[in-house]
Amino acid sequence: MDQNKTTSVNTPCPREGMGKGSAQCGDCDKCGRCDMQYKGETLYTMLIYSENFAGILNQITAVFTRRQVNIESLNVCASSTPGVHKYTITCYCTEEMAKMLTKQMEKKIDVLQAHYFTDDEIFILEACLIKVNTPMILENKDVSRIVRKHGARIVEVNPTYSIIEKKGMTEDILSLFQELNALGVVLQFVRSGRIAVTKSTTERLDKYLEEMERLRDGENR
Amino acid sequence: MKEKITGAEALMRSLEAEGVDVLFGYPGGAIMPTYDALYDHRKTLHHILVRHEQGAAHAAQGYARVSGRVGVVIATSGPGAMNTITGIADAMIDSTPMVVICGQVGAAMLGTDAFQEVDVIGVTQPITKWAFQIRKAEDVAWAVSRAFYIAKSGRPGPVVLDFAKNAQTGLVEYEPAKVDFIRSYRPVPVPTDETIREAADLINKAERPLVLVGQGVELGDAREELRQFIEKADMPAGCTLLGLSALPSDHPLNVGMLGMHGNLAPNVMTNRCDLLIAVGMRFDDRVTGNLDTYAKQAKVIHFDIDPSEINKNVSVDVAVVGDCKATLARVTALMKEQRHTAWIEGFRPYWDKEREMVIERAIHPTEGPLLMGEVVRAVSDATQKRAIMVTDVGQNQMFGCRYFQYTQGRSVVTSGGCGTMGFGLPAAIGATFGAPERTVCLFVGDGGLQMTIQELGTIMEQKCPVKIILLNNNFLGNVRQWQYLFFNKRYSFTPMLNPDYEGICTAYGIPSRTVVDRKDLAGAIKEMLDTPGAFLLQVAVKEEDNVLPMTPPGANVDEMMLEIK
């Protein structure tokens, strides 16, 4: 493996936390440390809206499974529209695949809309919690320097462990984690699924729902 | 105060409200309250007791395919529901409208591994348009109406209703429900005028157009619109396996069947045309062969009702997403009248070649054992091309689809996408209920017949007039052909020792006859057709016959083998 390539990459592998070289790592060629060939894939964020019925998450994830695409992160919650759930899913794939996946998700009866976005089309937020060993961070001045450098917050301190919280982009979070991890102070690390809103000035879901309301009225007339 | 009825009774009233008249089913523990309610409705809801739930699912498919109505299946929980799975998957990939109602343990016991509990929703979600668990009687009317609306609207497909026992016995003030709108579901998209114009422009400019006709034309009831569409611009049309009867076999612009065992001319010309127009078909790999070389020279227009089919296998220039009955008419209105005489003439040499090297040998042999092809054509001729052809899967299916001919729509019932052996016999039973006025001819092999042979009991009990033509070659013939071609003639478990089929028919009280000699064939077919009710005609056909021509899997669409050396 080309070591130069490793050091020249600015973006840390989003799967670093899973342990590089693990079976799941290396579909992306981001870090150059894995054996997989570059597949021309981009990280897409899919925003999916569905009715709030049981079992839809299963149907949505099954679309990814069938097309052999790994889900990188997933967040599900109620949306701003009553009764509508929002799914934020990221995955590496080609644009053709992203199109196909969103169409196949929209085909599910109770899915309202599914769209895919690149990072420049959305505002993104992720968060992480890092549990570290308190005696070790007291001994190591670098820890507080790293925490301040990354704009992270320490939200809990007790004699045994401390908890660091950080919000931001994937890269910022992973970079914080990697620096702390290199010091050997990390006890636990967890990163949230990505959440995102579009930068677009029109709200596609609202437009869709309005249009469907018109269709319903038209049919009843 | 309104009368309170059980959920099971509500189901019966909801089925009647949907216009259901035939049900295919099999009772069992968790569905008993429903069967108890059915007892009072047996005058309006004709229940066909099958001999295995798989038979119920395929029978419902056969019913739906010939009638255009929703096939209905009732089964019990656990094993009953699981036995319908093959039929549900088959209906999904072949877009057949079907509602499967299966029993389930009471809601209080869900998830406890109760007796005959299976997570039916979990199992069926990937192979249905919609799967829903009815956990309380109040949901019955809404769920049934929604199920029928989803099953038959847009691109049709199967729906499963998993009916918990407490919902069957629970009491409800029944209010009829009518679901004809779901805000997250747009069954029939409507293309813009611009899209229609783009499609018409491409057609008007095309010098060598070729139309690919799929089952969507039958499902959309658009045979007449298709005929006007191809006739106005004089465009040759090939049919997919499931689209065979969407265009009469003898229509001058019908250039034959597409695909692996289709006709040479349309397959070769797919890679010569300058415009490929797909109507209600999904570019299955059995049609396209190698996608990297498939129609690369041509512009492509794709008419389909399902947006997720667009650009799935073949990238298209214009996608006309909508109901082809409407979209074909809209495009036709903008088309110029054209003649493509020279282009159409170009199909003839390939037809002549195939006729000489394959077809004549298959349907008019003069010596040697009887061949499947000649049997199929003889039955087709004897029924004046007006019968419904049901096939099982394998060589019987390919010979059936190659040599049977059609004048009416909805005349082919075969398992296309799934290729389900054992489909034929129960599907033929269903077809006799879906089109009681028509003759139903089933071509089935000795392998497939034995997969669902228990349905002879259903035929006996219901007196279903199925004309069963058993093409017996003592082999699993299609697999044997592939072993011959691609596995060095190693016939691994394809020869088969057969039972005495006439003896079996005698036991079921079904008249039968066996033909070995060519001279007896015509008389035997006449006897079969003249005998009222069911008949099994066993034909001893050549053991190692091959379906030709053939595009080997993964080969280019225009590279068909006409003979096997």
pLDDT tens, A61-100?
Answer: 999 999 999 999 999 999 999 999 999 999 999 999 999 9
Give the residue numbers in A contacting B (CB under 8 Å), as ranges.
50-51, 55, 58-59, 62, 66, 96, 99-100, 103-104, 106-107, 109-112, 209, 212-213, 215-216, 219
Q: Which residues of B touch A58 (CB under 8 A)?
A: 122, 125
Closest-CA residue of B relative to A218 is: B181
Measure in Å the smallest separation between the Cα of B133 and chain A Cα atoms.
10
Query: What is the predicted pLDDT for the residue at A171?
Result: 86
The whole-number average pLDDT for the span B47-69 is: 98
**Would residue B277 count as lying in a domain?**
yes
Query: What is the predicted pLDDT for the residue at B4?
Result: 96
Cβ within 8 Å, pair B308-A110: no
Query: What is the predicted pLDDT for the residue at B166?
Result: 98
Cα–Cα distance measured from residue B477 to residue B542, given in angstroms and rounded to the nearest whole number: 10
Q: What is the CATH number of the domain that holds B442?
A: 3.40.50.970
Structural domain boundaries enclosing B521: 369-540
Measure in Å the smallest separation between the Cα of B383 and chain A Cα atoms.
41
**Tens digit of each residue's pLDDT (9 = 90 or more) over B209-245:** 999 999 999 999 999 999 999 999 999 999 999 999 9
The whole-number average pLDDT for the span A42-46 is: 94
Measure in Å the smallest separation between the Cα of B260 and chain A Cα atoms.
25
Cα–Cα distance measured from residue B400 to residue B364, given in angstroms and rounded to the nearest whole number: 15
Same structural domain for residues B495 and B388? yes
In this prediction, residue A31 has a pLDDT band, given cuts at 50, 70 and 90, of: low
Q: Which domains does chain A have, with CATH numbers?
A: 19-117 (3.30.70.260), 123-195 (3.30.70.1150)
Write the residue in A107, A209, A215 that is nearest to B308 by C-beta.
Answer: A107
**HEC readout, A71-127:** EEEEEEEECCCCCEEEEEEEEEECHHHHHHHHHHHHCCCCEEEEEEECHHHEEEEEE
In this prediction, residue B162 has a pLDDT band, given cuts at 50, 70 and 90, of: very high
In this prediction, residue B330 has a pLDDT band, given cuts at 50, 70 and 90, of: very high
In this prediction, residue A7 has a pLDDT band, given cuts at 50, 70 and 90, of: very low
CB B57 within 8 A of CB B86: yes
Give the residue numbers in B contacting A (CB under 8 Å), as ranges.
121-122, 125-126, 129-131, 150, 180-186, 306-308, 310-312
Cβ within 8 Å, pair B184-A51: yes
- The answer to which of A24-28, A80-84, A104-108, A213-217 has the lowest mean pLDDT is A24-28
DSSP one-letter code for B109: G
Query: Looking at the 3D structure of chain B, how many domains does it have?
Result: 3
Write the residue in A96, A109, A216 that is nearest to B130 by C-beta.
Answer: A109
Q: Which of B473, B475, B468 is nearest to B524 (CA)?
A: B468
Task: Give the bridge partners for A73, in sequence order.
Answer: A90
Same structural domain for residues B61 and B148? yes
Cβ within 8 Å, pair B184-A66: no
Cα–Cα distance measured from residue B559 to residue B377, given in angstroms and rounded to the nearest whole number: 26
Query: What is the predicted pLDDT for the residue at A183?
Result: 94
Q: Give 3-state DSSP helix, strand, coil % of chain B, rounded to 5.
A: 45, 20, 40
Q: Which of A107, A60, A68 is nearest to A86 (CA)?
A: A60
DSSP one-letter code for B468: E
Using DSSP's 3-state secondary structure scheme, residue A68 falls into: coil
**Would residue B356 count as lying in a domain?**
no
Single residue among B138, B173, B208 that ends a domain in this structure: B173
Same structural domain for residues B394 and B268? no
What is the amino acid identity at position B242? L
* Number of residues written out for chain A: 221
Task: Write the CB contacts of B136 (distance below 8 Å, at least 6 apart in sequence).
Answer: B7, B107, B164, B166, B167, B170
Helix (H) or strand (E) holding A191: strand A186-191
Cβ within 8 Å, pair B308-A109: no
**Tens digit of each residue's pLDDT (9 = 90 or more) over B373-383:** 999 999 999 99
Query: What is the predicted pLDDT for the residue at B2?
Result: 80
Six-digit token string for A108: 């599910």
In this prediction, residue A219 has a pLDDT band, given cuts at 50, 70 and 90, of: low
Please state whether beta strands B318-321 and B388-391 pair in parallel, antiparallel, or not at all (unpaired): unpaired
Measure in Å the smallest separation between the Cα of A111 and chain B Cα atoms.
6
Write the residue in A50, A55, A213 that is nearest to B184 by C-beta.
Answer: A50
Write the residue in A58, A103, A216 that is nearest to B125 by C-beta.
Answer: A58
Q: How far is CA B5 from the centre of its chain?
A: 38
Write the residue in A103, A109, A213 that is nearest to B150 by C-beta.
Answer: A109
Residue with tokens 């991890």: A181
The whole-number average pLDDT for the span B260-279 is: 98
What is the amino acid identity at position B456? L
Query: What is the predicted pLDDT for the residue at A220?
Result: 54
Query: What is the predicted pLDDT for the residue at B565?
Result: 79
Cα–Cα distance measured from residue B513 to residue B527, given in angstroms and rounded to the nearest whole number: 9
Cα–Cα distance measured from residue B332 to residue B203, given in angstroms and rounded to the nearest whole number: 10
Six-digit token string for B361: 């040998």
Task: Give the bridge partners for A46, in sequence order.
Answer: A89, A116
Side-chain half-sphere CA neighbours of B46 within 13 A: 9
**Would residue B341 count as lying in a domain?**
yes
Cα–Cα distance measured from residue B461 to residue B199, given in angstroms and rounded to the nearest whole number: 52
Same structural domain for residues B18 and B50? yes
Closest-CA residue of B relative to A51 is: B184
Closest-CA residue of A relative to B124 is: A59
Q: Which residues of B touch A216 (CB under 8 A)?
A: 181, 183
Same structural domain for residues B300 and B391? no
Which site among B128, B184, B283, B310 would you substitute to test the A interface, given the most A Cβ atoms closer than 10 Å to its Cβ?
Answer: B184
Measure in Å the smallest separation between the Cα of B130 and chain A Cα atoms.
7
Same structural domain for residues B456 and B412? yes
Cα–Cα distance measured from residue B311 to residue B321, given in angstroms and rounded to the nearest whole number: 12
What is the amino acid identity at position A111? V
List C-alpha distances in Å: B23 to B6, B89, B133, B437, B468. 20, 19, 20, 19, 23
Cβ within 8 Å, pair B307-A209: no
Task: Give the bridge partners for B442, in sequence order.
Answer: B390, B468
DSSP one-letter code for B473: -
**Would residue B51 count as lying in a domain?**
yes
Cα–Cα distance measured from residue A38 to residue A50, given in angstroms and rounded to the nearest whole number: 33
Which site among A60, A101, A109, A221 would you substitute to test the B interface, given the most B Cβ atoms closer than 10 Å to its Cβ?
Answer: A109
Q: Which of B260, B514, B520 is nearest to B378 (CA)?
A: B520
Q: Is residue A173 classed exposed, middle or buried when 0-12, 13-18 and 19+ CB atoms within 10 A define those classes?
A: buried
Measure in Å the smallest separation between the Cα of B59 and chain A Cα atoms.
26
Closest-CA residue of A relative to B159 is: A109
Measure in Å the smallest separation between the Cα of A54 and chain B Cα atoms.
9
Query: What is the predicted pLDDT for the residue at A38?
Result: 45
Same structural domain for residues B398 and B515? yes
What's the ipTM?
A: 0.90
Same structural domain for residues B253 and B383? no
Six-digit token string for B484: 């011959």
Measure in Å the smallest separation between the Cα of A71 and chain B Cα atoms.
18
**Would residue B546 count as lying in a domain?**
no
- Average model confidence (pLDDT) for chain B? 97
Please state whether beta strands A42-51 and A111-117 pair in parallel, antiparallel, or not at all (unpaired): antiparallel
**Tens digit of each residue's pLDDT (9 = 90 or more) over B472-490:** 999 999 999 999 999 999 9
Q: Which residues of B touch A62 (CB under 8 A)?
A: 125-126
**HEC readout, A17-67:** HHCCCCCCCCCCCCCCCCCCCCCCCEEEEEEEEEECCCCHHHHHHHHHHHC
Pairs of residues, one from chain A and one from chain B, whose beta carbons lie less than 8 Å apart:
49
B76-100: buried (b, 16+ CB within 10 Å) or exposed (e) per residue?
A: bbbebbbbbbbbbbbbbbbbbbbbb
Cα–Cα distance measured from residue A90 to residue B71, given in angstroms and rounded to the nearest whole number: 40
CB B228 within 8 A of CB B331: no
Q: Which of B66, B50, B23 is nearest to B456 (CA)?
A: B50
Q: What is the CATH number of the domain that holds B259?
A: 3.40.50.1220
DSSP one-letter code for B545: -
Write the residue in B130, B185, B308 that is nearest to A104 by C-beta.
Answer: B308
Measure in Å the smallest separation between the Cα of B201 and chain A Cα atoms.
27
Same structural domain for residues B18 and B142? yes
Measure in Å the smallest separation between the Cα of B154 and chain A Cα atoms.
11
**Would residue B182 count as lying in a domain?**
no
Cβ within 8 Å, pair A55-B186: no
Sheet arrangement for strand B71-75: B46-49, B22-25, B71-75, B98-104, B158-164, B130-134
pTM of the entire predicted model: 0.93
Cα–Cα distance measured from residue B473 to residue A114, given in angstroms and rounded to the nearest whole number: 51
DSSP one-letter code for A70: -
Q: Which of A200, A199, A201, A176 is nearest to A189 (CA)?
A: A176
Q: Which residues of A touch B185 (CB under 8 A)?
A: 109-110
Same structural domain for residues B427 and B525? yes
Cβ within 8 Å, pair B183-A213: yes
- Average model confidence (pLDDT) for chain A? 85
**Would residue B296 count as lying in a domain?**
yes
DSSP string, B9-27: HHHHHHHHHTT--EEEE--
DSSP string, B202-222: HHHH-SSEEEEE-HHHHHTT-
A4 has a pLDDT exceeding 80: no
Same structural domain for residues B199 and B69? no
Query: What is the predicted pLDDT for the residue at A30?
Result: 52
In this prediction, residue A54 has a pLDDT band, given cuts at 50, 70 and 90, of: confident
Cβ within 8 Å, pair B307-A106: yes
Same structural domain for residues B326 and B398? no
**Tens digit of each residue's pLDDT (9 = 90 or more) over B142-151:** 999 999 999 9
**Tens digit of each residue's pLDDT (9 = 90 or more) over B409-423:** 999 999 999 999 999
Measure in Å the smallest separation between the Cα of A48 and chain B Cα atoms.
12
Q: Which residues of A touch B129 (CB under 8 A)?
A: 109
List C-alpha distances in Å: B353 to B159, B264, B349, B403. 46, 9, 6, 16
Write the residue in A111, A215, A216 that is nearest to B184 by C-beta.
Answer: A111
Q: Which residues of B touch A106 (CB under 8 A)?
A: 307-308
